[in-house]
Amino acid sequence: MEELIQKVVELIRQAKRVVVFTGAGVSTESGIPDFRSPGGVWQKYNPEDFYYQKFISSEESREKYWQMSREFYEPLKNALPNAGHKAVVELEKMGKLDCVITQNIDDLHQRAGNSPERVIELHGTAISVSCLACRKKYPREEIQSWLLRGVRVPQCDVCGGILKPDTVSFGQSMPPRETEESFHRARNCDLFIVIGSSLVVQPAASIPLEARNSGAKLVIINRDPTYHDSYADVVIHGSAGEIMSKILERLQVT
């Protein structure tokens, strides 16, 4: 593994424009539950209950959704950035980071210290809620207080419209601006580093290949093998935080 870490260090030193792509494996190291892994959220709840069309058409579906969201929000709110997040911040401080494309919805990259304008939230954010009718925005913390007071299905206090966290649900279109920007950044970087993503959710999983096909070097750091490992220049299996910390330690040695 030490040789692989050194290879990544050299690739970063040579790179002028690094794009980092993060997935659930970075968030789980901060104690945020993974949706898909054994013991994850989707073993307790049926994801089919939360498809976007079902959410907007069924009060029963919305009630189930908010029950799940009420439970999920607490560990998300209390989570702290980990070594993986902090390593990405250091890449920005070194002037190497073009942007972070994240599948995560927890705001931890920004809380760790990355510039908000450098973070592209491909699947939205769980820290705000919007009315689907009048577009009024609410802090997620405010909605949590409603839920804890016994409100089962929150509604907009302006127009009575349906409220939904600003995350991308199953069956909902990806945000056009963020998706287009992610592919654009991938095509124009010279090093693309995947951290903590299984690379199975599309279209996000295609973004690393966009970078590779455009001439960038590709590094994948993930606990388990991914379908894209064979395309990568370097693959390291292990803890995102631990590996990124080692990479940054070596980078910072003059």
- Residues labelled as active-site residues: 123
Whole-angstrom distance, CA of residue 207 vs CA of residue 212? 9
Q: Are the CB atoms for 220 and 192 separated by under 8 Å? A: no
Helices 83-93 and 240-251: angle between axes, nearest 10 degrees: 30
Length, in residues, of the chain: 254
Q: Which of 240, 205, 65 has the alpha carbon at shortest distance from 123? A: 205
Q: Which of 197, 238, 233, 203 has the alpha carbon at shortest distance from 216? A: 233
Whole-angstrom distance, CA of residue 248 vs CA of residue 254? 12
Query: How far are the Cα atoms of 131, 144, 153, 194 from residue 149, in angstroms, in the given order?
Result: 20, 9, 12, 40
Query: How far are the Cα atoms of 44, 93, 114, 165, 215 from residue 127, in angstroms, in the given order?
Result: 22, 25, 17, 8, 36
Whole-angstrom distance, CA of residue 184 vs CA of residue 131? 30
